[in-house]
Amino acid sequence: MVTVPNPVRSLERILGRDLRGALADDIRATRLSQARPGTPIEGADIADLPSSARRYLEATGVVGRPRDESFVAHLTGTFRLRPKQRFMRCEAWQCNTADPLARLFHMRVDLAGVVPMVGRDAYASGRGAMRGRLLGLVTVAKGEGEEFDVGELTTWLNDAVIMCPSMLLTPAVSFDALDDTTFDVSCRHAGRTVTARVFLDEVGHPRDFRTTDRYADLPGGLRRAEWSTPLSGWHDVHGRALPSAGRAVWKLEDGDLTYLQVVFRDDAITYNPNLVPTRPASASGG
């Protein structure tokens, strides 16, 4: 029996209208495997951490829950490429895993409201990479190398801090407190270490994440710059704390560039899902 490609599904994939399917294929190709949640995290497991890190983990609902090994997120928001450019609608599907440490991110941006640009960012096997294609065919952005290895690992760390804090409870991650509302968090992987500073609100939820371990893609080329992801409006979702909205900001010499705005719906994140769902049935012939 020969499988016949579904032309409608293929077109949807090219135009970024099936990001979930593209992510599922990427998970298969990257060979990310299913892992069961770990044992429940108890107060004793975080007792030796700095006080501000403990406040954060308690406020985000980590204690009493099994350690998460993976999550899939579906996010919507707006995006722009350059300062003063109008924000455009965007949608993203992503998967992050703890072991192996990996991140796969697929996004569609509707340029001028109608022309899709499809992007993929990834960190897998200790290497980072990104690409962007207009109409799913014309490559308009592509990058790999040490700058992307560092930047994508840093983005994995950012995702864990915001969306899946129990992923941080591993020997690869360390905390260093500055005061009761601020701590530094570092992640070591594949021979490199990235660090960020996390600022907490009065409850213990993150209100900002700042780091210089990322590179901005500017007209003059890649440049190391401070990257910030301020958050607002935390709320409870089945015992977990989730922000209502967030932004991604480059802090540049000529001013801040906010390039991404994201909304977190209550159902935005699925923890420890089936990473390789059954492929949808397709037409076939013999």
Q: Is the dihedral of CA 38, 39, 41, 45 positive or negative?
A: negative
Q: Which two tokens stand for residue 228?
A: 């910030």
Tell me, what's the pLDDT at 281? 38
Of 7-16, 43-52, 77-86, 150-159, the least confident: 7-16
Question: Which of 42-46, 64-68, 138-142 has the least mean pLDDT?
Answer: 138-142
Q: How confident is the model at residue 218 (pLDDT cuts 50, 70, 90)?
A: confident
Q: What CATH number does residue 201 fall under?
A: 2.50.20
Is 153 within a domain? yes
Question: Within a domain: residue 281?
Answer: no
Q: Is residue 10 part of a domain?
A: yes
- Return the minimum-mean-pLDDT range out of 45-54, 136-145, 173-182, 230-239: 136-145
Measured torsion, CA atoms of residues 167, 50, 229, 103, in degrees rounded to the nearest 10: -20
Asked if pLDDT for residue 81 goes beyond 60, the answer is: yes
Residue 240 lies inside a defined structural domain of this protein: yes
Tell me which residue has tokens 């993976």.
70
Flag whether 182 is in a domain: yes
Alpha-carbon gap, residue 168 to 59, rounded angstroms: 15
Residue 10 binned pLDDT confidence (cut-offs 50, 70, 90):
low
- Is residue 285 assigned to a domain? no
Q: 70: Cβ–Cβ under 8 A, 6 or more apart, which residues?
A: 32, 34, 35, 95, 96, 97, 98, 271, 272, 273, 275
Q: What is the pLDDT of residue 277?
A: 55
Determine, yes or no, domain membership for 284: no
pLDDT digits (tens, 9 = 90+) for 97-145: 999 999 999 999 998 777 899 999 999 999 999 999 987 778 888 999 9
Q: Considering the entire predicted model, what is its pTM?
A: 0.92
Instruction: Give the whole-angstrom CA distance, residue 198 versus residue 50.
Output: 13
pLDDT in tens, 188-198: 999 999 999 99
**Tell me: the pLDDT tens digits for 222-231?**
999 999 999 9
Is position 280 within any domain?
Answer: no
Confidence of residue 7 (pLDDT cuts 50, 70, 90): low
Domain range for residue 95?
Answer: 2-274
CB neighbours of 283 closer than 8 A, spacing ≥ 6?
4, 6
Would you state the structure tokens that stand for residue 80, as one six-digit string? 């722009």
- pLDDT at residue 275 in the model: 86
Say if residues 9 and 282 touch (Cβ distance below 8 Å).
yes
pLDDT higher than threshold 50 for residue 279: no
Q: Give the total number of structural domains in the chain.
A: 1
Q: Give the C-alpha separation, 224 to 154, whole Å.
A: 13
Sort strands 70-79 and 269-271 into parallel, antiparallel or unpaired.
antiparallel
Q: Phi and psi dihedrals of 170, rounded to 5?
A: -145, 155
* Sole residue written with tokens 């109008």: 86
